[in-house]
Chains A and B, each alone.
Chain A
Amino acid sequence: MARVIYVASLNGYRPLGGKLVPRLAESLPAQLEQLSVNFDLAAYYSPQRGQYNATLILAHLLRHLPEADAKIIGLTNVDLFIPVLTFVFGQAQLNGPGAVVSTHRLRNEYYGLPSSASLLHDRTVKEIVHELGHTFGLVHCQDYSCVMHASTYVEEVDLKEARYCSDCSAQLRD
């Protein structure tokens, strides 16, 4: 995992502010660079669904990839979907250069619960590390504590840790 990973704030959205890169560095032994990317998300809004198309946002984001052999992950707070699913926390290209993560459904308030900055930060870090894992070719892991474990509820995100299990780590090294 020697390549540069660009962590891109979409339209100025910076979850965790300056703490994000150090938190990510604990799980991702790669060169992490922050980037600001601005484009009009309205073009990817679906009025019928009241959500934004993650696939199209990701395709646009890839135009901002600084180097061909780098990876980029876009961060946003809008509600994301892919055509067949009701929502996604994020989307990645398996073995590809790009991914996108939204914090919209990672917030406690979305579920009518009291706001919790620490939970939101933990969940955001886990989802970023998870989607980047897919870009490095990792698929979902059976180990419930591994960050690559599939999670379709925030409670499941909370159960896992922000690190790759030994099997997934070994695959990343290969």
Chain B
Amino acid sequence: MNKKRILIVDDEMSVRRSLEEWFLEDGFEVETAEDGEAALRMMHAAGPFDVFVIDIRMPGMDGIALQKRLHEVDKDANIIILTAFASVDTAVEALKLGAFDYITKPVDPDDLSHAVRNALRQRELSEENLRLRDKVTELSLSSPIIGESSKMRQIMETIDAVAETDATVVVRGESGTGKELIARAIHAQSPRRFFPIIAVNCGSIPDTLLESELFGHEKGAFTGAQYRRKGKLELANGGTLFLDEIGDIPAQMQIDLLRVLETRSFTRLGGNQEITSDFRLVCATNQDLEDLVKEGSLREDLYYRVNVFTIDVPPLRERPEDIPLLARFFVEKYARAMAKPLKEIAPEAEAVLLDYDWPGNVRELENAIERALVIGKHPDLQPADLPLRVEREAKKPGALALAAVEESHIRRVLRERGGNVTHAAKALGVDRGTLYNKMRRYGIERE
């Protein structure tokens, strides 16, 4: 178990030593600093700390000023102020400014133990609260994997087999096939399930922000970095890191990521403290990673490092037998969400659903059903309730190559949405990162 870390800041050496020995015997890892400047240096060089015990009266920067500076770096810093009886008023000011507690010198040993234990408990509760909120969000967003086709059954068996291990998994499939659901299912069945799954869509975050998103940053690492921020790599400690669109990671960051995967350690942007994180990696891509390696846009060593186990998720058109099952699942889901009576899907509508190619896969099907429930006036779901493109294209013979149809469709939707990529992506049933990829592939410029 990791020891809790405490930083003692006091200008009197005898006080620093006494407290250091006291906390060492209590099982803490202890650092000391003789003034505010030294404490800030220590915070940058050897932080983070779980608790700070700070003397209120020190030459130079006093305890209150130091508290403000520490809170600028870490707004959740847990600070206990040491004060003499004469400066209780100032200690109260420290409490108003966010200190956790104050204790008067000389300190009753029991008060000291209680103050520190309470501060730690408070921190643990705050962190647990954040974890639980993430978990609730995760549970409320999650959908089960639906499918009875042999391909999907095979995938579920594979998930069962691979989840127990710590092997890196690459989930491949077109946009909207449910790659993130597969990643979440692997996490949910793994021994890491009591820790978070942290998802990062590498395709939807600008390169300049992706680095900070993954590695975190120290205060002042770049313009606008007002606080220290933990990165996704750090947050995934104990759990699973899900990197969506891994093929979109820029070249320099691929080197950094490879180093993290080899050593499980890294530093935050603008920091020099080595941080270790124990996570399981699951990646997803809708691109051919081997092609990216041949083109030189994906490092070969990173490819071999992540490509330990592959799960191929088939597009919806290759498992049409799952379409009615999925459609019924989404009808139930949205009827419940919209507090509407449950509808049957009319046989004609089901035929349309089965005839359509679903280039946007399950996500497109889900959006189509949601829309149908919003606008449908009949007691059952009719073909007319489905989006026009589904109804029309289901009946059209395939004269154009799929890519050509896709390009033309994207151009049309972008035109209709005045070039707004976010709105167009929503209408197409794909995320922005995927749409940007496709626009790049077809040479479509943003207006």
Contact = CB atoms under 8 A, between A and B. Distances in A.
A139 interface: yes
Interface string B13-26: 01101110110111
Interface of B: 12, 14-15, 17-19, 21-22, 24-27, 82, 105-110, 112-113
B25 A84 contact: no
A20 to B, nearest CB: 23
24 contacts: A55-B17, A55-B18, A83-B14, A83-B15, A83-B18, A84-B14, A84-B19, A84-B105, A84-B106, A85-B22, A85-B107, A85-B112, A86-B107, A87-B109, A88-B109, A93-B21, A94-B24, A134-B25, A139-B26, A140-B25, A150-B26, A152-B108, A152-B110, A153-B110
Interface in A119-174: 134, 139-140, 150, 152-153
A83 B105 CA distance: 9
Given A139-B27, A140-B27, A84 B107 contact: yes
Given A55-B14, A140-B26, A152 B109 contact: yes
A92 B107 CA distance: 19
A82 interface: yes
A85 B82 CA distance: 11
Contacts, number: 58
Q: Which of B17, B21, B25, B106 has the most CB of A within 10 A?
A: B25
User: Which 8 A-B pairs rank lowest in CB-CB distance, beginning with the nearest?
Assistant: A139-B27, A152-B110, A83-B14, A82-B18, A152-B109, A84-B18, A84-B15, A86-B106
Q: Which of B15, B17, B18, B110 has the most CB of A within 10 A?
A: B18
A52 interface: no
B25 A139 contact: yes
Contacts of B110: 152-153
Contacts of B107: 84-86
A102 interface: no
A103 interface: no
Contacts of B106: 49, 81, 83-86
A76 interface: no
Main secondary structure of the interface of A (DSSP, over half): loop
Given A84-B82, A84-B105, A139-B26, 15 more contacts: A49-B106, A55-B14, A55-B18, A81-B106, A82-B22, A83-B12, A83-B14, A83-B15, A85-B106, A92-B25, A139-B27, A140-B26, A140-B27, A152-B108, A152-B109
Interface of A: 49, 55, 81-88, 91-94, 134, 139-140, 150, 152-153
B96 to A, nearest CB: 25
Contacts of B26: 139-140, 150
Nearest to A93: B21
A134 B22 CA distance: 11
A15 B109 CA distance: 25
A152 B22 contact: no
Nearest to A95: B24
Nearest to B21: A94
A85 B112 CA distance: 9
Contacts of A134: 25
B24 A139 contact: yes
Contacts of B14: 55, 83-84
B228 to A, nearest CB: 29
A150 B107 CA distance: 16
A134 to B, nearest CB: 5
B199 to A, nearest CB: 36
Contacts of B113: 150, 152
A85 B25 contact: no
Nearest to A82: B18
